[in-house]
Structure 1
Amino acid sequence: MFTIVYAALGGNPQLLLLSAICVLLILAAGWDRIHARLPNALTLPAILMALVLFPAAWWGGLLWGASYALAWWRGWGIGGGDVKLAVSLGIIAAAQGALVLPWVIAGAAVLTLIDAALQHLQLVPAAAARGRVPHGPGMVTATLMAALLCAAV
């Protein structure tokens, strides 16, 4: 599949890597939605790819990752997978601009709250771990939406 994308994009390795990270992030969001966990096999390569694509935006991963690491350490409902996912998504969001990162973080929280409400109303199936709302889908959706909107402007 990636060979076809690579050829279709005129052999641009950066666009190939960008499409690969998008696939990884969407898989991570889906996995988190179904199983209520984010596996290292999806989160760790995403960090590496984000750093290769946007090395100057490393600070975004540090900020979002560190804030979630603190929340995880304090037991405030953030899992270890969310921390690792926040690093790659923070890099991607910061690459869109310094002011984009806080909006993406807020958007991720809002999307997760909407997901929690929909689960409570039983309008969407609950995640595998009862009583827990996966945060990965909201994080990925907010980040990719921001990246698409910034690219369109």
Structure 2
Amino acid sequence: SLGQYQRAIDFHQQSLDISREIGDRYGESNSLCNLGNVYNKLGQYQRAIDFYQQSLDIKREIGDRLREGNSLMGLSIAYHRCGKIQEAFAASDQAEQIFQELGLPIEAMPYPRWEKAIIKFAQRGRLQLILCFIFGLIAFPFALVWFILLLLWRLIRSQFKR
């Protein structure tokens, strides 16, 4: 959180080594997930994906469903940032299913505050749900235009890099 990413990597790597040495699978999976978080912040998404995937495998092995969902959310973010949209949605959907299965309240889910606020607003009643639906219909064309512009920007930028 302080932006000292190399120090964070060093400490998480030390934690990972110790966890592996003593056979602490829970600690190992947490260290791997934390390394994924650091590499995600650094923009090294493939490395982040690798760490999240290793963490996810261990969490599934030890049956830690909550943290399995958290690893899937980390994977989803990393996939999304490196342009693997289908994989991002698949990981996010799996995480969502786990969170619903566990019956977590919306406050416990790893969503941004703005998304939680919209969900809470829509859950207040039928009128609020209708308002969210109408807003979504109005906002969709703007989001679509923004997405197309983003794709065009990336295409043009990649052409100039060559």
The TM-score, its normalising length taken from structure 2, stands at 0.36
Q: Which structure is higher in helix share? A: 2
Q: TM-score of the superposition, structure 1-length normalised?
A: 0.38
Q: Pick 1 or 2: higher relative contact order, CA cutoff 8 A, min separation 6.
A: 1
